[in-house]
Amino acid sequence: MRLGFLCASAALAGGLLLSACSSSTGSSSGLPSSGGQGLAMGRSHGHTYKTHLMPGVKPMTIGCDYSVYAFCFYVVPNDPGPYIETGTSPSYELYNNAYIQKVGQAKNNKKFSTYFYPDPGNPTYQYITYTGNTPKKAKSVKFVDYYCIGFSPSDCTGTTYTFKLGIAISPPS
């Protein structure tokens, strides 16, 4: 009897976890991350997608508020990357968009430029260039990457976003 109750509880918890990861409309929603590993997964229009940091990109594990950001990472000044890869299976084309703002400001930050290649594509990669001042030491999240994943061109227009990514600027090595 007790074993059956534990199994039913585990199944219910797993179902709740899966429903927490999904967004049926593709609109903005908080998605759980893998606890600082630079991975976010979700659903949009019935399709599952996965977004993760590219190899070599340094994840920010200390000072990242996972209740706000899917994951956080460091951007190296004047290095366009790519920083992030998004893909889906089976192979549906993805349409992406992003804009980057300083934390607490409602305007796009002119020190950043970002684009996706290929767009549309699967997988697709986000390139980010930062041309501002380089900090002398590592700091916390200073910028927000409002990242949108879409399955049609109209999914990622204007200020639509799927999730927020925290950005800190990498000091010189």
Q: What is the pLDDT of residue 51?
A: 93
- What's the token pair of residue 127? 């390139």
Sketch the domain layout of the chain as residue ranges. 2-169
- Structure confidence at residue 5 as a pLDDT band (50, 70, 90): very low
- What's the token pair of residue 1? 């009897």
Cα–Cα distance, 137 to 58 (Å, whole number): 15
pLDDT per residue as tens digits for the range 129-148? 999 989 998 888 999 999 99
- What's the token pair of residue 38? 């630079």
Average pLDDT, the chain: 80
Q: Which of 169, 148, 167 is nearest to 158 (CA)?
A: 148
β-bridge partners, 124: 86
